A and B are shown apart, each in its own frame.
Chain A
Amino acid sequence: MRTLSTPTPLERFIVEQRQQKDILLMSHTVLSYPSFQDNYCAIDALVKAGVELIELQFPFSEAIADGSLLLNANQSAIQTGTTIKDCLCFASEITQQYRQTQFIIMTYYNVVYHYGVKQFVQTAANSGITGLIIPDLPPEEAKTYVVTCNYHGIATIFLCTPNNSPKRLQRIAESTSGMIYCTARKGVTGHETQFSTEFNRYVESVRTSVQLPIGVGFGIQSQAAVSQLKGQVDIAIIGTQAVKLYVEQGVAALEVFMRNLRTG
């Protein structure tokens, strides 16, 4: 049974935006990669391109859910001496600057655990963050985290996968608020996804078990992919591709790419 009776601010935002748009976009930056200044530029481009939700990844040395691009980004970030405090400061500033955009912290559980779960969530809430994604924290281990986030109105965005049974989806749904993050395929971030009829069945299964907005990520790299998702889900999540584009082709290319994703 869901303990949360009222929707989080994140969920309200998504629902309201979806009344005007047939799909929303969520994207990704790895904080201090290549630098905090670059993060400002990239985020500016994303916002100008109309991206509604942005993940701020706090780097961690053992990023087991990430493919080589984001993994290397995490490691570069740490090597520059970036601290979690630096990341929290950045989060605080960026939410002030772009008040129409939803900022979500994505990181691995050790970062949160080491900071202190309650302190981390409180600080995130005070910084204007509206959601958290922690890919190595399963619902079974998340009791304190979920209670604390619920208290602060911060969305607990859990992941679900094509391998999940309906019973498992329900268990995940019980701990999830704001939106649910459906990974489009097996594996880790960064490799392109091929959609199939199985994917449609999977989305249907999620919709039956979860009464929350649905975001789909992992391997979303093109306008064609986003087009396919319209009408099926609420949010297309483009993570690795955004980071890659910025680093390889620069801020203008990133803005154009993101803007074009929904014009198909």
Chain B
Amino acid sequence: MVISSSIGAIASLFPEGVNATPQLLSQKGYYGEFGGRFTPEILHETLEAVTAAYQAARQDQAFWSEFTALLSNYSGRPTPLTYAEGLTRYLGGAKIFIKREDLNHTGSHKLNNGLGQMLLAKRMGKTRVIAETGAGQHGVATATLAAKFGLRCTIYMGAIDVERQYSNVFWMRKLGAEVVPVSSGTQTLKDAMNEALRDWSTHMDTTHYVIGTACGPHPFPEMVAWFQSVIGLEARSQILQQAGTLPAAVYACVGGGSNAIGIFSGFLDDTSVQLVGVEAGGLGINTPHHASRLAASDASVGIAQGYKTYFLQNQDGQMQDTHSVAAGLDYIGVSPLLAHLTQTDRINVKAATDTEVLEACQLCMSQEGLIPALESAHAFVQAFKDAPHYSSSDCIVINQSGRGDKDIFTIANAFGDTEWKAFLNNQVSSFQS
């Protein structure tokens, strides 16, 4: 069976237009003890309406057909599964396959969820969408889709993130979105999410809040996982076709958890497949400067931003500062789905430090000519540690959740590239003359 890029091929992978994995379905919004809906009463009816619309869409073949058709024609799905011959040879163990979410339109997996929610927003008759964004990828994806579908768009972004990811802010504004810098709290992703929730509390009649990851109040974790499940369904089909066997392990970076649950969902029922999530180890999980909620021992169960999960918080329940070189992983909470799967030992979660991430990124470029985003490079760190210990008859799959060349400012800065700095200085001088 050859995976072609025709609409029929993708749609045929998903019988009745509904993802068959029951493990992605919550029990009234809960996955074990995690999830739920802890929001101010003003959002009650809105969340009920979103839940009803999502559940109706799940049963509607026409919705799924429209979704997959757009994924194909607008975004070029299915994304390839690339055999990384150079990296495989270099590491000398398992065959390494890379799922190319970087080749999605706007350069990451974010569009899968954005598109699904945009179609839902239109079904609900909304004329405006809002979103939070950290690194800016979800913001750019949402702004892109809002422009395509003719909806007004406001993106909330922490003021610190606006500074460090300004190139994404540029694109969002060019696409017609309003970008609102949020200066409360730590001025990063969680504060942007809080502000988006406040906006939604006032404007819910016209507005849908497109949460960008598998977090937030029910139904968002479940709904986001559903839209991102296209990654896992494709990947499973592709690896069987290309390698003739299931992978020994699948790797994904974990910020909020959407790309991880997306690819893991394809393999949840395959007990021989290890599922490995990799979080932001920052300056080291033994320091206070990281964003590891599941791998490190600093986090504890709490309730914030509408849901119950592991958060990095102090002894009073106040949320802590997090750090990562990768802004997209720099977040206090984690998907309740992943928290539950960690607790039931279905997934294993590791952490990668900033230094390890840059090394992995460099290795990808020099051995394979691939440029992963710094977020995605976290997954590569652990995969590269494990690969040599497998035999050449094994294969592993790494989710490249985004491409790095769109993040040139971030990556050049992270590498401390002196020629790049000189270039920037010249540019600034040229403006002043």
> Footprint of B on A, CB under 8 Å?
59-65, 67-68, 71-72, 75, 78, 83-84, 108-111, 113-115, 135-138, 140-141, 158-161, 163-165, 168, 172, 183, 186-188
A64 touches B305 (CB 8 A): yes
**B330 vs chain A, min Cβ distance (A):** 16
Instruction: Kindly list chain B residues whose C-beta atoms are within 8 Å of the C-beta of A59.
Output: 318
Smallest CB-CB A-B distances: 7 pairs: A114-B317, A187-B202, A65-B40, A110-B317, A62-B304, A61-B319, A61-B318
Q: Which one of B41-49, B263-271, B347-355 is at the A interface? A: B41-49
In the bound assembly, the distance between CA atoms of A165 and B198 in angstroms comes to 22
19 new A-B contacts, CB < 8 A, other than A64-B40, A64-B305, are A59-B318, A62-B185, A64-B39, A64-B306, A65-B42, A68-B184, A108-B304, A110-B303, A110-B304, A138-B37, A138-B38, A138-B41, A161-B42, A161-B44, A183-B41, A187-B42, A187-B198, A188-B198, A188-B202
A60-B318 contact, Cβ under 8 Å, with A71-B184, A188-B202? yes
Q: Decide if A161 touches B204 in the complex (CB within 8 Å).
A: no
Contact yes or no, A136 B39, CB < 8 A: yes
The residues of B that contact A62 with a CB separation of less than 8 Å are 185, 190, 194, 304-305, 319
Spell out B's residues near A (CB within 8 Å): 36-42, 44-46, 184-185, 190, 194, 197-198, 201-202, 204, 300, 302-306, 311, 313, 315-319
Chain A positions within 8 Å of B316 at CB level: 83-84, 111, 114-115
Can you give 11 A-B contacts (C-beta < 8 A)?
Answer: A60-B317, A64-B305, A113-B302, A113-B303, A114-B302, A136-B40, A138-B39, A138-B44, A163-B45, A187-B42, A188-B201
Q: How far is the CA of A186 from the CA of B46 in the complex (A)?
A: 12
Looking at the complex, which one of B39, B42, B317 makes contact with A163 (CB distance below 8 Å)? B42
Chain A residues lying within 8 Å of B204, measured Cβ to Cβ, are 186
- Name the contact of A168 in the complex, choosing from B36, B45, B185, B190 (C-beta under 8 A): B45
Q: For the complex, would chain B's binding face be called helix, strand, loop or mixed by DSSP majority?
A: mixed
With A62-B194, A113-B317 known to touch, is A160 a contact of B304 (CB < 8 Å)?
no
Residues of B within 8 A of A75 (CB): 184-185
- Which residue, B42, B190, B305, has most C-beta atoms of chain A within 10 A? B42
Question: What's the Cα separation between A115 and B316 when bound, in Å?
Answer: 7
B268 to chain A: closest CB distance in Å? 27
Q: Which residues of A contact B184 (CB under 8 A)?
A: 68, 71-72, 75
Q: A67 and B302: CB pair below 8 A?
A: no
Chain A residue at minimal CB-CB distance from B45? A163
